Amino acid sequence: METSTQHAVRLTEMLPGHYPQVKEIYELGIATNNATLETNAPEWEEWDSKYMKSCRLVALAEDGSVAGWGALTAVSGRCVYSGVAEDSVYIHPKYKGRGIGKLLLQQLVQESEQEGIWTLQAGILKENAASIKLHEQCGFRIVGLRERLGQLHGQWRDICLMERRSKIVGV
């Protein structure tokens, strides 16, 4: 899978060699304190075991550097939830506001449906208005607010739970 875009990036499958830049982008997201409750980015082996082997994307800038990434994690190992996954989309700060997140999320939706995923979900810190808006633009809806779901640096944080049901898988 490879897609050219009008946004001066090329979407392609994430390869292990992309991970150093993917990790850096994840760490930049962690540093905002509004992207995740995680406080450290894992090494490749741990990251690779957490995320689904399919539906891993990078947005490559014209110079070949990683401008952003997106991937899916299964929400459960139980077979009844085999069609439910959670998305992660992160953009390097110097590429924010260019529509790259939307391109990545739209492509993740498309690829997830090819993999038989009927529901995508996202847990977004309630202060992360840009991510909530992005998900709404890509067909997600807010299904609830999970209050005091986890702590970050000793502070309880609320998570906005969003989901997108496929119109072609599981209908």
pLDDT in tens, the chain (171 residues): 544 444 589 999 999 999 999 999 999 999 999 999 999 999 999 999 999 999 999 999 999 999 999 999 999 989 888 999 999 999 999 999 999 999 999 999 999 999 999 999 999 999 999 999 999 999 999 999 999 999 999 999 999 999 999 999 988
CA distance 75 to 84: 6
Total domain count, the chain: 1
Q: Is residue 49 part of a domain?
A: yes
Residue 74 lies in domain: 2-165
Backbone angles phi, psi at 76, to 5 degrees: -160, 155
Check: CB of residue 109 under 8 Å from CB of residue 138. yes
Q: What is the pLDDT of residue 7?
A: 59
Q: Is residue 171 part of a domain?
A: no
Q: Is residue 170 part of a domain?
A: no
Q: Is residue 17 part of a domain?
A: yes
| Token digits of residue 128 | 């992360």
CA distance 107 to 3: 9
Q: Is residue 138 part of a domain?
A: yes
Q: What is the CATH number of the domain that holds 94?
A: 3.40.630.30
Indicate the residue type of 91. I
Q: What is the pLDDT of residue 3?
A: 46
- Provide the pairing of β-strand 84-91 with 119-125: parallel
Backbone angles phi, psi at 30, to 5 degrees: -55, -40
Q: What is the pLDDT of residue 146?
A: 95
